[in-house]
Amino acid sequence: MKLDGRVSVITGAGSGIGAATAILFASGGARVALVDLDDKGLQEVRREIGAGRASVLEFKEDVSDSGAAERTIQAVVREWGIVEVLVTSAAISTGGTVTTITEKDWDRVFAVNTKGTFLWARAVLPHMIRAGRGSIITLASQLALAAGRGSAPYVASKGAVISLTRSIALDYAQYGVRANVIIPGAIETPMLERSFVRKADPEAARECSRQRHPLGRFGTPQEVAYAALYLASDDSSFTTGAQFVVDGG
Ligand code: NAP
């Protein structure tokens, strides 16, 4: 199996892309630590992975809390001795332009999406450096490259995730740690659905978004999870600092 016994921490594992990644990694033999605020989502993912498996840990934590990142990684290392893969999928998306977003909402989006990537990378890196290997996989968005109307804080926070990931790749390559960012297009998850519901005409917004994808459809969380599986496995051993676009063209 591709990820035989590999210790993986996945934030946002209770829903969408994070959930699909956790399920795929577990089916590939990984030991998975699931992190999310959503307790119910965590339980469902655990059930799907299989109640009998001993290789799952769950943590109901807020990724923007630095204490939570340190606490969780220490617990994982106590249990399994190492952290080899980190996937940072937890994020929030609020609409808004520079003139309509409140400062409070701006700060919250950056706290979860950008700081929530930095804090978890910071918590795992000493363990990866000690082991002389590791793979950090972050989640940005195609909107960070192309921009998108009415989502300025989300788009900006994801642009920062791309830059942060490439900085990590440069700074820690010497220790055998790789860092790559996955850049999805529109993927059928609760987050995407919420982004349409916010619009005045959700059906028109859904159709407009679909048409932006040359393959003529939205992606599935599993199609993104396969990219994460590649980046977590030794198949991608010469890949770091890459922007891995999974956006239907
Ligand atoms: P999702 O279905 O909403 O899943 C995200 C999960 O993260 C949810 O379970 C959410 O819990 C959790 N979360 C939110 N804030 C958290 C926090 N502070 N601490 C811990 N967990 C938190 O989203 P998704 O569509 O799978 O997105 C996954 C990643 O892909 C995100 O980084 C997103 O920006 C990126 N992405 C998604 C798309 C897309 O079209 N879906 C496109 C491009 C990029 P709650 O449900 O309780 O908030």
The CA angle 195-201-203, to the nearest 5 degrees, is: 75
Pick the atom of ligand 1 nearest to 224's CA: 30
Nearest CA to ligand 1 atom 15: 91
**CA proximity to 91, closest of 222, 170, 181, 3:** 181
How close is the Cα of 31 to the center of ligand 1, in Å?
21
Q: Where are the beta strands (DSSP E) in the chain?
A: 7-11, 31-36, 56-60, 85-88, 134-139, 177-184, 243-246
User: What does the pLDDT profile of the chain (249 residues) look like in tens digits?
Assistant: 689 999 999 999 999 999 999 999 999 999 999 999 999 999 999 999 986 666 999 999 999 999 999 999 999 999 999 999 999 999 999 999 999 999 999 999 999 999 999 999 999 999 999 999 999 999 999 999 999 889 999 999 999 999 999 999 999 999 999 999 999 999 999 999 999 998 999 999 999 999 999 999 999 999 999 999 999 999 999 999 999 999 999
pTM: 0.98
Q: Amino acid letter at 197?
A: V
Q: How far apart are CA 125 and CA 136, in angstroms?
A: 9
Ligand 1 pocket member 187 (CB < 6 A): yes
Q: How far apart are CA 144 and CA 167, in angstroms?
A: 17
172 is a catalytic site residue: no
Ligand 1 pocket member 19 (CB < 6 A): no
Q: Are 21 and 10 in contact (CB under 8 A)?
A: yes
Ligand 1 pocket member 180 (CB < 6 A): no
Pick the atom of ligand 1 nearest to 154's CA: 34
Pocket perturbation via mutation, ligand 1, pick of 21, 37, 206, 217 by most ligand atoms within 8 A of CB: 37
